[in-house]
Structure 1
Amino acid sequence: MKIDEVPQQADDIYEGETKVVYAVGQDGKLATASTQGWEAEIEALKDAVDEIEQQAREAWQRARNGETSPLEYHMLHQRLDVPMLAQAMGKFQWQIRRHFKPNVFNRLSDKRLQQYAKVMGLSVETLKRLPDTLEPGEPQP
């Protein structure tokens, strides 16, 4: 694709940001070009975000029912998954999943809770509880 053919289909999903892609310059060599996105990419990204939000809503409901800990909801709400959280925490994935069990989560040390909170950019108090309701605009499960 030539630089002047790089799509510029702006969408709110990028929150005003642009990204860099490679395109062929006037001299026939690869060069970088800025883009605001294109339709196929925007739709795929929206679908992925919708899926993550649905998983977070389901985790919120399970946590309200006592089937999982608030950790699972907060992980998904922060758009993380088990492999990413495990890597950020320096733990095995099975350890993260084990902490989804309410009785295990409730016994975690303050140090471990602080690690989770730091990785997710939350306070320990926020990590330990669920929001009473989901954020405005998020449909209930």
Structure 2
Amino acid sequence: MTFEAGRNRITQSNFAVGFKTDEFQLHTNVNDGTEFGGSIYQKVNDQLETAVNLAWTAGNSNTRFGIAAKYQIDPDASFSAKVNNSSLVGLGYTQTLKPGIKLTLSALLDGKNINAGGHKLGLGLEFQA
């Protein structure tokens, strides 16, 4: 919540609520009474995690939707994938090289323009002390 003393009024209000159990997590939010969102996360088992996200703006028929999953291949490697309603497909692979050092390879593909190029590749190196 943002209050402007000069105008003596609230200029921004955001509200969020979450709920968590052993099996899943729910989250919902409202920003300024015009943007609404919600997500569900579930750890299916020790190897698989899934999530769904939904958002929309009042006065606009453009609803945003995304679904994602992460698969733990072994204790040191995982694969993740996501897709949204704009047909953007994200893929990622993370490998623990040594304790405290992780390498991540990622790609973002435009599913609507698969032959047009403009896709993105990423490389990350994470150090943890």
TM-score band by shorter chain is under 0.3
Considering only CA atoms, is the larger Rg found in Structure 1 or Structure 2?
Answer: 1
TM-score, normalization: structure 1? Answer: 0.22
TM-score of the superposition, structure 2-length normalised?
Answer: 0.23
Greater helix content: 1
Q: Taking CA–CA contacts closer than 8 Å with sequence separation of 6 or more, which of the two structures ends up with the larger relative contact order? A: 1
